[in-house]
Structure 1
Amino acid sequence: MLATLGVVLLRCRGLDPGAGVDAYLSSVPVLVAVAAALVAVRLVPWPLRAAGRLAARARGAVLFLGVARAGRGAPVALGPLAVLIVAVSTGVFGGVVTSTVAAARDRAATLTVPADAWLSGYTFSPDAQDALSRVSGVTAVARVWVASNRRLVPEAGSPSRQIGTARVLVVDGPAFAQVVARSGVEVDVPAALRAAARGDGPVPAVVSSQVATQVGDQAAVDVQGRLYEFRVAEVVEAFPGVGLGTERFVVLPWQALPEYEYTPIIPNRYLVAGDDIDEADLLGVADDAQRRRQAAVLGVEVTRTQVPASLQTWRGYREDLDRTGANDVLTLAFTAGVAGGTALAVLAVGFAVVADAAGRGRMLSRLRTLGLSAGRGRRLLVYELVPLVLVAALTGAAVGAALPRILGPTLGLSAFVPGVPVRDHLDPLVLASVLGLVVLGLVTGLVVENLMNRRMRLGEVLRLGEENP
């Protein structure tokens, strides 16, 4: 009841940082984990008892004894099971939140720099792409023209009937796809841009939902002073290269636009793919291309560019996101949660074995006098622990993975990611870590039991035919 009420209040009101720390609402994730642990403690003995009846038909007594002890609610099945569920859920919750933020930051970096590098300038000469391709480390280059507040009109023949403005991105579709493939970024270049070819009629375009609602199926947009008609081929919420948070944009395929001798489209950006790119050389070549273009326009030699070229890399932008002060807080909090959950899980298994060490020792003493080997004695503990540790791991993993979705925006993860929606992301490594935790718990149980048996001098008890009290 406390956990359910806390989730409802948290989703309705959220946390108000200005009102101080609300101890109840801040503890909702732990309350949810404790509630799940209490339910699991009540439900687990039933299927284990059914499994015990099946194990009774198997050959040998070890499997039956292990499952039966787990199903009867031995100390390992009560308090330590609940603690183990809370520990696993805490660790998984921290892992899911961390991976969710990391995935959102990857998307932000890709939307901002959809290649290994993003070269910006004022205007480049038409031959700049060939010169940039020869720079050491560069494997692919795609020309881009981008500008904001470009006119949108119903058709090219009605330039005065403006229906709004938008940010326009003109990109060479096939070259863009090649750069993306060689950069290894997660960008899906729409087929409308890749397959578009020059011909009669409007060119296919990728537009935002706000532009699509306003222009309908067809319109025209201003590109460097000339109106180009386009038809809406695909509607998306975001597109790499137009900028984070841009709600009105039009993306046109460069290779499909008609070329005009006296008013060609001149690139002001380049997408670059490559490994170990010589950045200084790349910027030098870019500025040379800018000076050649300005000299051609002005008719005089230019020794200094109006806007020096700048280079932004995907890796550099991504690292900048990780260097924010908020990231330090996030990393500390959730790394501590993962580490603390792991340590608590191992301690829970260890204390569970210690709690019943005396009873298990007496049972092993009797069984060994009947011929039970030391190896089968260890197997007995494994059979007792495996069902409970698996239940705790699965329950804790389910709760930890569900908590970010249950709590929703109240976690405030958007503060750690600029301009992109935060979507729940479950890293496969988190699931693998849960399996690793199961193995670690079993190993811990075996080690603790071995130490307890040595302390109780089980071997001497067997030789004397006595039992420890």
Structure 2
Amino acid sequence: MRILLLARVHLGTVAALSVLTISACLLIAGLPRGMQASFDQALRRSLSTAAAQQADLTVAVAPDSRGEDLHERDQFAARDREWRDLLPPGLRPLITPAGTGSSHTSAKTTVTPITGTSGTQFFNLGWLSDADRRVTWVQGRPPGKPGTTRYDGETIPVFEVGVVAEALREMDLRVGDTKTLGENDYIAVKIVGAFEAKDPGDRYWDHNLDILRVTKIQPPGSLDFEKHITSLMSDDGLSVLSGEGRHLAYHWVLPVDATTANALDVPRLTAAIADFDRLIGIQSTGTASPYRLVTGLPKLLGDFRAALATAETVMYLVLGGLLAVALGVLVLGVQLLADRMEHTLTLARARGGSLRQVAGTGAALTGLAEAPAALAGYALSYLVPGPVLPIVHAGPVLVIVVTVGYAATRLAVTYRTPLHERRDDVATARPSAKRITLEALVIVLALAGAYLLRARGLTDSAGQDPFLLLVPIALTLAAALITLRCYPFPLRLLVRLTARGRAAVPFLGLTRAARARSASVLPVLILLPALGVSVFAAVISDGIAGTQTRASWQQVGAPIKMTSNIEIPAEAIERVRGAAGVEQVVPAQTARVQVGYGAERAEAIAVDVAQWRRLMGEAPFGLPDLPSGALVSPELQGRGTFEIGWQSRLKLPTRGVIASVPGFFTKGKFLVVPIDVLTRPAVNTLLIKGDASVDALKRLVPSATVVSQHGTLRAIQDDPLTSAVRWTMLVVTVALAAYALVAVVLALVVGAADRARAVSFLRTLGLSERQAQRLTVLEILPVILVTTLVGLGLGLGLPAALGPGVDLSSYAGDLPVGDYSLDLFLPSALAAGLAAAAVLGAYTHTAVSRRRRLGTVLRVGDLT
């Protein structure tokens, strides 16, 4: 047969099939690329925002003898090259080259007390390989060569050092001071200069905060703080510095380049880090001081994999549903094309055409419509940024194979015998016992799978659980089988009721709907997975959005929260009250208090709870009223009246138990007390209502940290992984809704010929045009409405059916997502849209059929 001629004759159907193929291939190949690009962006953000000492690889050793000391810069450089040579191939692209970024080496002592301070001040020695590029000397001069001095009858080394300018104030030091360090093995340091960091915000200083800041530590049971600072010395100081007699550690920092990371390499990176750690350990063989790898990168990657596994599971669910629906719609298009060629192929078969020729003709025409369109959709998918995954290549090929294979198989079955007459419109075929048993088995397995999934949860939170992917598919298939088998029964009941009436149209329309063949109903059942998956995606997206809002309130505890490590002065509080946009200010004090007279401690907040509740307004959580006494955590309940030490001894009766205090405490031992129980509240927290600028409030109280609920919510929503999940769900929801409408239209068109024939018969018996329209609507609408309701129910029930199998807390501020409230707007909109499409299609069909003459539809002998 002439394929091009057939394509020209059926140009409209071929064009429609091509458009559907382009859209399907674009979605199937483009969405995974966009998803993977978002996953890569999420991993890079996770690595770049984590503390450098957690994300970077650091090789450390603590020499405790002179034989293991390193005294020259070249020795450090040689070890750095050695560590880089040991990097596994899979890890090397992730590590920045030597001398770039924050790559550096260091030597530092720890816990080196200043002699005579009784262990309250510690002055450590430090050396950085690139200190000259990192600091600016603001007082004195850079350190030089070390010297010697006499102390306690011995000659001890004197190191020239510099300290950060902040340490001069915090530790009462001056340039030119000489301090003796140690309690037995003494050394001395001479402060010759003070410096400031050129870029204090550089990730480089995450590894060296002990140099840039004075560290304050409060020992247990003490009211005083220990102060620690690490100074900087020159290269010449290395020749004298030794690990013998003091705590000395060498570090080689191998920074991670977050821009080169991609989510697909996460499992390989985790294995490579473990391999690198093993190789470093081998280098320590035979040495008294072993080298070790210090990094939090495996934990970062593990946490990311856990969040990614959930994202991938949800994505696979919705994309799998999208693929199934897209293929179903394409199959409907192929069926429409086959129906349009029925006359041609029947004639060819009657004139001696072989079954291979007939089936090959249909397959060739389908391939002609599909192949260029699939190639175009595949090419358009490259406009979506992201890595090329196997599904990008396999998706369009799968579309072509399924559609062409379906065309060939359907035509081979239909025309296996020439001019085989079929009369399936009179009575429906009774399914075999084997088929009923198989369908019942599928339903039972789907229900059992849903129960087991809820009972056992996931097998591996860091990987894909096939059970989680199979259960939704089984539930969808079970719902489709139940709908296919059960929908005729209520229709037959309606047929009996309408048979008692005098009007013929309701009886005829519902009878045709109840007697519809399975083959004619199956195209409409594409609506079920389309609606089920789209509603599931919408419900999950809404659940995430609502939980994100609750999480932002839970993290902040007020529209705006200002906290400080020191007391906020009264005049500063008044400035905040008078700031633009501030409506209400509630002062509070937080502290760690003593419970009883022992060593037990608890976190506490003193606040006017009534004012706090008014300030919160319509926040998604509440606090119990507290006129007196204390609200305690579950760990402190059951104690009745207890005593705490906070400014003075306070006896407080328990007035209630609270699981968490939004913005402050979520676990452990904590309590909430009225602020007026304190003798003189030292306010260090302000809870603010209004739309004031966070930056403006920071300028009013420079020592405070200011966060807002809106800013926290934006940070949660802007996470790349979270954005990828919600963006993909939105696209899939819109695409599936469009496919559902297309399925309705195709279902109308596929049965148009038989429907027009039946209406023409009835018109010869006096059926009016208005009655023909009503008849068509009654024939089509019941099946669509039943399928729509089942699909909506499936989509609304899937989140509850999956239960703990889908943990979405990673995308909602670490708050569990479980409140899938029933929002009837989307279901109602989808149901109304599909019903409207069906009714509009019915009226359009009758309007088109009205222009046909009965002679073009009925042949001689049809009325006999």
TM-score after normalising by structure 2 = 0.45
Structure 2 CA distance for partners of 1:229 and 1:58, relative to 1, 3 Å: farther
Structure 2 CA distance for partners of 1:217 and 1:373, relative to 1, 3 Å: farther
CA–CA separation in structure 1 for the residues paired with 2:821 and 2:446: 23
Contact 2:659-2:667 at 8 Å conserved across structures: no
Structure 1 residue 70: Cα displacement: 2.2
- Which of 563, 588, 606 is residue 170 of structure 1 equivalent to? 606
What SS is found at the alignment partner of 1:406?
A: helix
Q: Which residue of 2 aligns with 1:52?
A: 495
Structure 2 CA distance for partners of 1:48 and 1:451, relative to 1, 3 Å: closer
Q: Which residue of 1 aligns with 2:136?
A: none
Q: Which residue of 2 aligns with 1:304?
A: none
Structure 2 CA distance for partners of 1:424 and 1:282, relative to 1, 3 Å: closer
Superimposed CA distance per residue, residues 198-235 of structure 1 (whole angstroms, 9 cap, x where no aligned partner): xxxxx33222212215xx22223343x33332222222
Q: Which residue of 2 aligns with 1:439?
A: 832
Superimposed CA distance per residue, residues 374-401 of structure 1 (whole angstroms, 9 cap, x where no aligned partner): 4443333333343333322322222222
Q: Which residue of 2 aligns with 1:265?
A: 681
Contact 2:453-2:467 at 8 Å conserved across structures: no
Structure 2 CA distance for partners of 1:378 and 1:24, relative to 1, 3 Å: farther
Q: Which residue of 1 aligns with 2:557?
A: 114
What SS is found at the alignment partner of 1:170?
A: strand
Q: Which residue of 2 aligns with 1:200?
A: none
Contact 1:80-1:352 at 8 Å conserved across structures: yes
What SS is found at the alignment partner of 1:27?
A: helix
Matched, 1:43 2:486: yes
Aligned residues: 415
> Which ranges of structure 2 fall in alignment gaps of 5 or more residues?
1-441
What SS is found at the alignment partner of 2:480?
A: helix
Contact 1:76-1:355 at 8 Å conserved across structures: no
Structure 2 CA distance for partners of 1:235 and 1:98, relative to 1, 3 Å: same
- Which of 488, 491, 509 is residue 66 of structure 1 equivalent to? 509
- Amino acid corresponding to residue 598 of structure 2 in structure 1: R
Structure 1 residue 450: Cα displacement: 5.3
Structure 1 residue 371: Cα displacement: 4.9
Matched, 1:97 2:540: yes
CA–CA separation in structure 2 for the residues paired with 1:389 and 1:235: 52
- Which of 181, 185, 191 is residue 619 of structure 2 equivalent to? 185
CA–CA separation in structure 1 for the residues paired with 2:731 and 2:459: 22
Aligned-CA RMSD value: 2.8
> After superposition, where does 1:50-449 map in structure 2 within 5 Å?
50-58=493-501, 60-74=503-517, 78-121=521-564, 122-147=566-591, 149-153=592-596, 160-162=597-599, 164-181=600-617, 184-191=618-625, 193=626, 196=627, 203-213=628-638, 216-223=639-646, 225-243=647-665, 245-254=666-675, 257-260=676-679, 264-275=680-691, 277-287=692-702, 308-428=703-823, 431-449=824-842
Structure 2 CA distance for partners of 1:432 and 1:389, relative to 1, 3 Å: farther
What SS is found at the alignment partner of 1:144?
A: strand
> Structure 1 segments of 4 or more deviating over 6 A?
none
Contact 1:29-1:403 at 8 Å conserved across structures: yes
Structure 1 residue 49: Cα displacement: 0.8
Structure 1 residue 14: Cα displacement: 1.9
CA–CA separation in structure 2 for the residues paired with 1:385 and 1:247: 61
Structure 1 residue 419: Cα displacement: 3.6
CA–CA separation in structure 1 for the residues paired with 2:716 and 2:731: 21
Structure 1 residue 35: Cα displacement: 0.8
CA–CA separation in structure 2 for the residues paired with 1:27 and 1:96: 20
Contact 2:694-2:707 at 8 Å conserved across structures: no
Contact 2:807-2:816 at 8 Å conserved across structures: no
What SS is found at the alignment partner of 2:828?
A: helix
Contact 2:809-2:817 at 8 Å conserved across structures: yes
Contact 2:560-2:689 at 8 Å conserved across structures: yes
CA–CA separation in structure 2 for the residues paired with 1:271 and 1:67: 65
- Amino acid corresponding to residue 204 of structure 1 in structure 2: G
Contact 2:796-2:822 at 8 Å conserved across structures: no
Q: Which residue of 1 aligns with 2:858?
A: 467
CA–CA separation in structure 2 for the residues paired with 1:152 and 1:59: 85
Structure 2 CA distance for partners of 1:69 and 1:466, relative to 1, 3 Å: closer
Q: Which residue of 1 aligns with 2:106?
A: none
Contact 2:532-2:794 at 8 Å conserved across structures: yes
Structure 1 residue 9: Cα displacement: 5.6
Structure 2 CA distance for partners of 1:412 and 1:421, relative to 1, 3 Å: closer
Contact 2:567-2:682 at 8 Å conserved across structures: yes
Structure of higher CA gyration radius:
2
> Which ranges of structure 1 fall in alignment gaps of 5 or more residues?
154-159, 197-202, 288-307
CA–CA separation in structure 2 for the residues paired with 1:190 and 1:18: 39
CA–CA separation in structure 2 for the residues paired with 1:386 and 1:450: 12
Contact 2:494-2:510 at 8 Å conserved across structures: yes
Superimposed CA distance per residue, residues 22-45 of structure 1 (whole angstroms, 9 cap, x where no aligned partner): 656423212211111111221121
Superimposed CA distance per residue, residues 345-404 of structure 1 (whole angstroms, 9 cap, x where no aligned partner): 223322322232122112222344455444443333333343333322322222222222
CA–CA separation in structure 2 for the residues paired with 1:132 and 1:465: 85
What SS is found at the alignment partner of 1:426?
A: coil
CA–CA separation in structure 2 for the residues paired with 1:352 and 1:50: 24
Structure 1 residue 449: Cα displacement: 4.3
Structure 2 CA distance for partners of 1:445 and 1:228, relative to 1, 3 Å: same
Superimposed CA distance per residue, residues 162-208 of structure 1 (whole angstroms, 9 cap, x where no aligned partner): 5x322212221232122112xx42232312x2xx1xxxxxx332222
Contact 2:468-2:805 at 8 Å conserved across structures: no
What SS is found at the alignment partner of 1:99?
A: helix
Structure 2 CA distance for partners of 1:39 and 1:285, relative to 1, 3 Å: same
Superimposed CA distance per residue, residues 45-102 of structure 1 (whole angstroms, 9 cap, x where no aligned partner): 1111112212334452332333222222346873134322222111121112112222
Structure 2 CA distance for partners of 1:373 and 1:210, relative to 1, 3 Å: farther
Contact 2:788-2:831 at 8 Å conserved across structures: yes
Structure 1 residue 104: Cα displacement: 1.8
Bigger RCO of structures 1 and 2 (CA < 8 A, at least 6 apart): 1
What SS is found at the alignment partner of 1:344?
A: helix
Contact 2:506-2:778 at 8 Å conserved across structures: yes
Structure 2 CA distance for partners of 1:278 and 1:17, relative to 1, 3 Å: closer
Q: Percent identity?
A: 27
What SS is found at the alignment partner of 2:570?
A: coil
CA–CA separation in structure 2 for the residues paired with 1:220 and 1:81: 71
